[in-house]
Amino acid sequence: MPITEILARNAQVYGPEKCLTEINLELQESHNVTWLEYELIENNPAGEYRREMTWSVFDEKANRLANLLLKRGIKKGDKVAILLMNCLEWLPIYFGILKSGAVAVPLNFRYTAEEIKYCLGLSETRALIFGPEFISRMEMIYDQIPDVKTLFFAGENRPSFAENYDRLTANCSSEAPKVALTDEDDAVVYFSSGTTGFPKAILHTHQSLMSSCYTEKKHHGQTREDNFLCIPPLYHTGAKMHWFGSLLSGSKAVLLRGVRPEWILKTVSEEKITIVWLLVPWAQDLLDAIERGDVKLDDYDLSQWRLMHIGAQPVPPSLIRRWKKYFPNHDYDTNYGLSESIGPGCVHLGTENIHKVGAIGVPGHNWEVKTTDENGNPVPQGQVGELVVKGPGLMKCYYNDPEATSAALKDGWLFTGDMARMDEDGFIYLVDRKKDVIISGGENLYPVQIEDFMRAHNAIKDVAVIGLPDKRVGEIAAAIVELKPGCNCTEEEINAFCTPMPRYKRPRRIIFDKVPRNPTGKIEKPRLREKYGATSIVATQTQDKC
């Protein structure tokens, strides 16, 4: 069943009920007004602080866009790109593209103009819908993308080279278009995070999207009473596929623009949020704010918050121990997935397995998992091998890249490029990215293991371990350490903290710097390698004492 039928069902069954709320607390604070007072402000050029949408309006908006695309000659299988910040229009646009039979192509809002042009070309996009934040980037390339026949602009102050999305869709029918869709039809192109070079285009079918709905709901048990807080960018599979559990259960969700700890807690309290998905840095920031006294939990009503789950990167066990200290009644889950496996869920810890925190978990609902050697043969239990997954949410291919497709998909299995080991109970532990493994004097060093150990230091906010060239042993481990605000630490103190680790695993260089992460929370190690690979920089960072 195509995923668009779930939206149509919800519109029919729950039509007048609220399904989505967009909240912009930065906008509210800039006007220094209360939530209700904000609704009385007139002629605000920045838009509204809090906007809502019902299931029926959601479906109608999707239908209007689908009919506009069909009127403009978009055919089944054509690609239509989305370049928007998280907003109330994002998901209706996504579903409108799907309802037209076209293939949705979400674009990373951090892409440069050249990256936007590259991804539009690689995906063979024919139409693009973009927002006001991207006018300057689009001005640089709009006359260099001849295959993109139509540019729609969603927002105020439309540039001359684009058409008005709101006006055009308002004049289109709100009835569902008569486009036959099947599970096997192409549905979306997502782009890899680009942490290992230019992004690859990942093609999925409607079956993939539906599989993520069922997997997410099975793992987290969404009901009609739940309210999901969505903070990560919707262009990425993670945020959207977790929201698919809300779609399948017909429950509410809130799109929060901004990640400040007080904004998260305020929204959870005021909107009666029950489920929150966080990235590691956001969870760390929230805990740090609590421990510094910047936020006080007693100021918020958090009694209905039942589940916090994390994904997109390895989760330090020390982080979850800290979390349970302040939120002892929360269920907790870790989710592992890739854009190639339609986002989260091919491996998950399970709320009942918090005693195994540190593991990414066991095979997800309807998924199979194994760890293999370089020849694709299973490795013995406890040994490190490449994580390989199989299930109904696997990508169809890397679009326009048969060589990369054949390297990643073999006999129905996806070779993830992640190194992992399986314990005696069948739980899987990520060790590192295959390309991130450091070979030092013939020993394999797995940066994630070193990073997890170092994050337990009270002064360390974040850490990334990379390999630097060394004439004697080939590579050495260097730790880029980002300290918590107001903390003082030296290279000698970090080295002393690392002495319990085996000598060969200890970082040989300590570099104090900010740890860069992309919008999905993954450490951008290529940037660090480029910055520090040619020359070694050893420094200390000194700030006021904690």
Using CA atoms, how far apart are residues 279 and 254, in angstroms rounded to an integer? 17
pLDDT at site 344: 78
Q: What is the pLDDT of residues 155-180, one digit of tens each?
A: 989 999 999 999 999 999 999 999 99
User: Looking at the predicted structure, is the pLDDT value of residue 538 above 70?
Assistant: no
User: Looking at the predicted structure, is the pLDDT value of residue 463 above 70?
Assistant: yes
* Rg over CA atoms, the chain: 24
> Which residue would you say has higher pLDDT here, 525 or 290?
290
Which residues does 148 contact at the CB level (< 8 Å), separation at least 6? Answer: 81, 120, 125, 126, 127, 128
pLDDT at site 438: 84
User: Looking at the predicted structure, is the pLDDT value of residue 379 above 90?
Assistant: yes
For residues 421-441, give the mean pLDDT.
Answer: 83
Confidence at 383, pLDDT banded by 50, 70, 90: very high
Using CA atoms, how far apart are residues 430 and 497, in angstroms rounded to an integer? 23
User: Looking at the predicted structure, is the pLDDT value of residue 536 above 60?
Assistant: no
User: Looking at the predicted structure, is the pLDDT value of residue 221 above 90?
Assistant: yes
For residues 366-371, give the mean pLDDT.
Answer: 95
pLDDT at site 448: 81
**Cα maximum dimension of the chain:** 70
pLDDT at site 534: 44
Provide CATH code, domain 437-532: 3.30.300.30
pLDDT at site 237: 86
User: Looking at the predicted structure, is the pLDDT value of residue 510 above 50?
Assistant: yes
Angle between helices 280-292 and 317-326 (to 10 degrees): 50
Position 408: which residue type?
Answer: A
pLDDT at site 412: 94
pLDDT at site 443: 67
User: Looking at the predicted structure, is the pLDDT value of residue 498 above 90?
Assistant: yes
User: Looking at the predicted structure, is the pLDDT value of residue 96 above 70?
Assistant: yes
pLDDT at site 545: 32
- Are 406 and 385 within 8 A, CB to CB? no
Confidence at 393, pLDDT banded by 50, 70, 90: very high
**Low-confidence winner among 22-31, 260-269, 294-303, 374-383 (lowest mean pLDDT):** 22-31
Long-range Cβ pairs for the range 59-62 (8 Å, 24+): 59/7, 59/8, 59/10, 59/11, 59/95, 59/176, 60/11, 60/174, 61/89, 61/92, 61/93, 61/96, 61/169, 62/4, 62/7, 62/92, 62/93, 62/95, 62/96, 62/98, 62/99
Using CA atoms, how far apart are residues 331 and 316, in angstroms rounded to an integer? 17
Q: Which helix (H) or strand (E) holds 166?
A: helix 165-170
Map residue 337 onto helix, strand or coil: strand
pLDDT at site 222: 96
Taking the model in full, what pTM does it have?
0.82
41 burial (CB, 10 Å; 0-12 / 13-18 / 19+) is: middle
DSSP state, 142? G
Q: What is the pLDDT of residues 53-71, one digit of tens each?
A: 999 999 999 999 999 999 9
User: Looking at the predicted structure, is the pLDDT value of residue 5 above 90?
Assistant: yes
pLDDT at site 442: 58
pLDDT at site 37: 37
- Give exposure, 494-524, as e/b (b: 16+ Cβ within 10 Å): beebbeeeeeebbbbbbbbbebbbbbbbbbb
Average pLDDT, the chain: 88
Q: What is the pLDDT of residues 9-22, one digit of tens each?
A: 999 999 999 999 99
DSSP 98-118: HHTT-EEEE--TT--HHHHHH
- Across 210-306, the runs of DSSP E, i.e. the strands, are 227-230, 252-256, 275-278
3-state SS of 484-522 is CCCCCECHHHHHHHCCCCCHHHCCCEEEECCCCECCCCC
**Topology (CATH level 3) of domain 307-434:** Luciferase; domain 3 (2.30.38)
Using CA atoms, how far apart are residues 384 and 227, in angstroms rounded to an integer? 39
User: Looking at the predicted structure, is the pLDDT value of residue 44 above 70?
Assistant: no
For 129, phi and psi rounded to 5 degrees? -115, 120
Domain ranges of the chain: 4-258, 307-434, 437-532
User: Looking at the predicted structure, is the pLDDT value of residue 441 above 70?
Assistant: no
pLDDT at site 319: 86
> Which residue would you say has higher pLDDT here, 492 or 37?
492
pLDDT at site 193: 64
Provide CATH code, domain 4-258: 3.40.50.12780
Using CA atoms, how far apart are residues 193 and 461, in angstroms rounded to an integer? 23
pLDDT at site 430: 83
Confidence at 542, pLDDT banded by 50, 70, 90: very low
User: Looking at the predicted structure, is the pLDDT value of residue 34 above 60?
Assistant: no
Confidence at 314, pLDDT banded by 50, 70, 90: low
Residue 26: HSE in the Cβ half-sphere, 13 Å Cα cutoff = 7
Confidence at 411, pLDDT banded by 50, 70, 90: very high
pLDDT at site 43: 38
**Low-confidence winner among 81-90, 140-149, 197-206, 245-254 (lowest mean pLDDT):** 197-206
- Are 449 and 463 within 8 A, CB to CB? no
For residues 485-503, give the mean pLDDT.
Answer: 90
User: Looking at the predicted structure, is the pLDDT value of residue 402 above 90?
Assistant: yes
For residues 390-394, give the mean pLDDT.
Answer: 96
For residues 260-266, give the mean pLDDT.
Answer: 95
What number of other Cβ atoms are within 10 A of residue 327's Cβ? 17
For residues 80-102, give the mean pLDDT.
Answer: 97
